[in-house]
């Protein structure tokens, strides 16, 4: 199969078809400075709400972390309600960790089957 290459952004009014056949219809993005409280060993904490207009419960969320994060922390994102995303911090160690405040970026992927 021949490969094509391009440079610059690609725009489509109809979406893009991914390898699974899903059509990516939009990518929504927001950022927020989050200062999680100290996390005890093997616990989690959720951020405050981050507004992402158009996000719906069940949409996939990607989380961009600050440049430096403490070892033993895992961050995930989820849509908790319409237009609302939260970042969850998990301390997967046997010791407490106090995460530094930082700017997190959340990206919501909208797709149709």
Q: Is the entire prediction scored with pTM above 0.85?
A: no
Helix or strand (DSSP H, E) at 79 = strand 73-81
Tell me 39's DSSP state: B
Evaluate if residue 31 carries a pLDDT over 90: yes
Evaluate if residue 64 carries a pLDDT over 70: yes
Identify the pLDDT of residue 63: 98
Task: Indicate the average pLDDT of the chain.
Answer: 89
Helix (H, G, I), strand (E, B) or coil at 34: strand
Evaluate if residue 4 carries a pLDDT over 60: no
Identify the pLDDT of residue 13: 63
Helix or strand (DSSP H, E) at 110 = strand 102-112
First to last CA, the chain: 25
Report residue 8's pLDDT band, with 50, 70 and 90 as the boundaries: low
Evaluate if residue 36 carries a pLDDT over 80: yes
Evaluate if residue 90 carries a pLDDT over 80: yes
Domain boundaries defined on the chain? 26-112
């Amino acid at each position: 199969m021949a490969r094509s290459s391009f440079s610059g952004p690609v725009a489509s009014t109809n979406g893009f078809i991914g390898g699974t056949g899903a059509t990516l219809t939009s990518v929504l993005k927001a950022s927020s400075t989050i200062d999680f409280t100290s996390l005890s060993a093997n616990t989690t904490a959720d951020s405050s709400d981050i507004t992402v207009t158009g996000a719906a419960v069940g949409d996939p969320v990607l989380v961009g972390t600050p440049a430096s994060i403490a070892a033993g922390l895992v961050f995930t994102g989820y849509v908790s309600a319409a237009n609302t995303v939260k970042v969850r911090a998990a301390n997967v160690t046997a010791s407490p960790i106090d995460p530094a405040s930082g700017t997190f970026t959340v990206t919501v992927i909208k797709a149709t089957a």
